[in-house]
Chains A and B, each alone.
Chain A
Amino acid sequence: MTVRRLTSSEQLIGAALCVGYVMMLVWTAPDLAMSRDESFYAHAAKEYGGWVVELLKNPSSALTREQIDRAWDYNWEHPAWMKLTFAWAWLVHQKLGLFSSESLAFRFPGMLTAGLLLWLIYAWGAVIIGRTGALFGALAFATLPRVFYHSHLAAFDVPIAFLITLTAYAYWRTLSDSKWALLTGLAFGLALATKHNSWILPGIFLIHYLWVRRQYALADRLDRPTLAWLPSMLVIGPIVLIATWPWVWHHTASRLLAYAQFHLSHVHYTYEYLGVSYFEPPLPISVPFIMTLFTVPLTILVLALIGLVHRRAALAPPWRTRRGDPTDTRADVLWLGCLAAPLLAIALPSSPIFGGTKHWITAYPFLALFAGWGFVAVTDLARGPLSTERRWPAWTFAALFLAPGLVQTTHSHPFGLSHYTPIAGGVAGAADLGMNRQFWGFTTGSLADWIVETLPDGGTVWTCDTTWGAWRMMQADRRLPSNIRPVRSMAEADLVLVHHEPHFNEVDFQAWMAFDDVQPVHVLTYDGVPIISVYQNRRKR
Chain B
Amino acid sequence: MADPGRKSSLAAWVWVLVACVAVFELVADTVIRARVPTDASWEDATAFVRERFEPTDRVVAAPRWIDPLVRSYLGDLFSLSSASVGDLAGVRRVWEVGIRGATSRREPPALEESFGGVRVRMWPVTTDEVLFDFVEGIGRAKVDLLTERGAQPCPWIHAKVEGGGLGHGPLPPPDRFVCDPGRPWLWVGPTVVADLDLQPRRCVWQHPAGREPVRATFRDVPLGDKLVVQGGLDYNNERTAGNIAVRLRVFIDGRLAGEMRHQDRDGWSRLEIDTARLNGSVRQVRIETIAAKSHGRTFCWSASTRRAQGEP
Measuring CB to CB, which residues of chain A are less than 8 angstroms from any residue of chain B?
A: 277, 279-280, 297-299, 302-303, 306, 374, 377-379, 381-382, 384-385, 397, 400-401, 403-404, 407-408, 411, 421-423, 425-429, 431-432, 462, 465, 488-492, 496, 498, 500, 502-514, 516-523, 525, 527-530, 533
Is B147 in the interface zone, CB < 8 Å from A?
A: no
Q: Which of A397, A408, A503, A518 interacts with B78 by CB under 8 Å?
A: A518
* In contact, A426 and B193 (Cβ under 8 angstroms): no
* In contact, A527 and B36 (Cβ under 8 angstroms): yes
Residues of B in contact, count (CB < 8 Å): 64
Can you name the residue of chain A whose Cβ is closest to the Cβ of B169?
A506
Indicate the member of B37, B71, B80 with the most A CB atoms within 10 Å.
B71
Question: How does the 8 Å CB contact mask read for B37-70 relative to A, with 1 for contact and 0 for none?
Answer: 1000000000000000000000000010110110
Q: Which of A306, A404, A512 interacts with B26 by CB under 8 Å?
A: A404
Q: Which residues of A contact B72 (CB under 8 A)?
A: 519-523, 533
With both chains docked as a complex, state the minimum distance between the C-beta of A411 and any C-beta of chain B, in angstroms.
7
Q: Which of B21, B71, B191, B198 interacts with A519 by CB under 8 Å?
A: B71
With both chains docked as a complex, state the minimum distance between the C-beta of A519 and any C-beta of chain B, in angstroms.
2
Can you name the residue of chain A whose Cβ is closest to the Cβ of B67?
A530
With A and B bound together, what is the CA distance between A498 and B172 in angstroms? 18
With A and B bound together, what is the CA distance between A219 and B184 in angstroms? 76
With A and B bound together, what is the CA distance between A529 and B173 in angstroms? 30
* In contact, B80 and A379 (Cβ under 8 angstroms): no
* In contact, B32 and A527 (Cβ under 8 angstroms): yes
Can you name the residue of chain A whose Cβ is closest to the Cβ of B199?
A505
With A and B bound together, what is the CA distance between A521 and B71 in angstroms? 9
With both chains docked as a complex, state the minimum distance between the C-beta of A377 and any C-beta of chain B, in angstroms.
8
Identify 10 new A-B residue pairs, CB closer than 8 A, beyond the known A298-B21, A432-B100: A302-B18, A379-B15, A422-B28, A426-B28, A426-B32, A489-B164, A504-B166, A509-B170, A509-B192, A512-B83
Q: Which residues of A contact B166 (CB under 8 A)?
A: 465, 503-504, 506-507
Q: Provided the pairs A429-B32, A506-B169, A522-B72 are in contact, do residues A303 and B18 lie with their beta carbons within 8 angstroms?
A: yes
Q: Which residues of A contact B164 (CB under 8 A)?
A: 462, 489-491, 496, 507, 510-511, 514
Q: Which residues of A contact B194 (CB under 8 A)?
A: 505-506, 509
Indicate the member of A279, A432, A519, A530 with the most B CB atoms within 10 Å.
A519
With both chains docked as a complex, state the minimum distance between the C-beta of A284 and any C-beta of chain B, in angstroms.
18
Q: Which residues of A contact B170 (CB under 8 A)?
A: 506, 509-510, 513
With A and B bound together, what is the CA distance between A432 and B167 in angstroms? 25
Q: Provided the pairs A403-B26, A502-B198, A507-B165 are in contact, do residues A302 and B33 lie with their beta carbons within 8 angstroms?
A: no
Q: Provided the pairs A505-B200, A506-B166, A523-B68 are in contact, do residues A384 and B29 lie with their beta carbons within 8 angstroms?
A: no
Indicate the member of B71, B80, B164, B165 with the most A CB atoms within 10 Å.
B164
* In contact, A432 and B24 (Cβ under 8 angstroms): no
Question: How does the 8 Å CB contact mask read for B76-100 relative to A, with 1 for contact and 0 for none?
Answer: 1011100100000000000000011
The 10 A-B pairs with the shortest beta carbon distances in the complex, nearest first, are: A519-B75, A490-B164, A422-B28, A404-B25, A426-B32, A528-B36, A513-B171, A382-B15, A518-B83, A509-B192
Can you name the residue of chain A whose Cβ is closest to the Cβ of B239?
A279
Q: Which residues of A contact B162 (CB under 8 A)?
A: 489, 491-492
With A and B bound together, what is the CA distance between A519 and B165 in angstroms? 19
Q: Which residues of A contact B1 (CB under 8 A)?
A: none
* In contact, A489 and B32 (Cβ under 8 angstroms): no
Q: Which residues of B contact A374 (CB under 8 A)?
A: 18
Q: Which residues of B contact A489 (CB under 8 A)?
A: 161-164
With A and B bound together, what is the CA distance between A511 and B165 in angstroms? 10
Q: Which of B32, B168, B200 interacts with A428 by CB under 8 Å?
A: B32
* In contact, B198 and A382 (Cβ under 8 angstroms): no
Mostly, the A contact residues are: helix
A-B contact pairs, 18 of them (CB 8 A): A298-B24, A299-B22, A302-B21, A306-B18, A378-B14, A401-B18, A404-B26, A408-B25, A421-B25, A422-B24, A465-B166, A490-B163, A504-B166, A507-B166, A514-B161, A518-B75, A530-B66, A530-B68
* In contact, A505 and B80 (Cβ under 8 angstroms): no
Can you name the residue of chain B whose Cβ is closest to the Cβ of A462?
B164
Q: Which residues of B contact A407 (CB under 8 A)?
A: 26, 29
With A and B bound together, what is the CA distance between A520 and B68 in angstroms? 7
Can you name the residue of chain A whose Cβ is closest to the Cβ of B161?
A491
Contacting chain A: which of B5-13, B207-215, B216-224, B289-297?
B5-13
Q: Which residues of B contact A491 (CB under 8 A)?
A: 160-162, 164, 171
Q: Which of B11, B24, B66, B198 interacts with A505 by CB under 8 Å?
A: B198
* In contact, A517 and B32 (Cβ under 8 angstroms): no
With A and B bound together, what is the CA distance between A504 and B235 in angstroms? 11
* In contact, A428 and B36 (Cβ under 8 angstroms): yes
Q: Which of A403, A431, A518 interacts with B22 by CB under 8 Å?
A: A403
With both chains docked as a complex, state the minimum distance between the C-beta of B171 and any C-beta of chain A, in angstroms.
4
Q: Which residues of B contact A512 (CB under 8 A)?
A: 80, 83, 192, 200
With A and B bound together, what is the CA distance between A427 and B198 in angstroms? 21
With both chains docked as a complex, state the minimum distance between the C-beta of B61 and any C-beta of chain A, in angstroms.
10
* In contact, A528 and B37 (Cβ under 8 angstroms): yes
* In contact, A404 and B198 (Cβ under 8 angstroms): no
Q: Which residues of B contact A303 (CB under 8 A)?
A: 18
Q: Which residues of A contact B65 (CB under 8 A)?
A: 431-432, 500, 529-530
With both chains docked as a complex, state the minimum distance between the C-beta of B19 and any C-beta of chain A, in angstroms.
6
Q: Which residues of B contact A513 (CB under 8 A)?
A: 80, 161, 170-173, 191-192
* In contact, B14 and A306 (Cβ under 8 angstroms): yes
With A and B bound together, what is the CA distance between A500 and B102 in angstroms? 20
Q: Which residues of B contact A384 (CB under 8 A)?
A: 9, 12
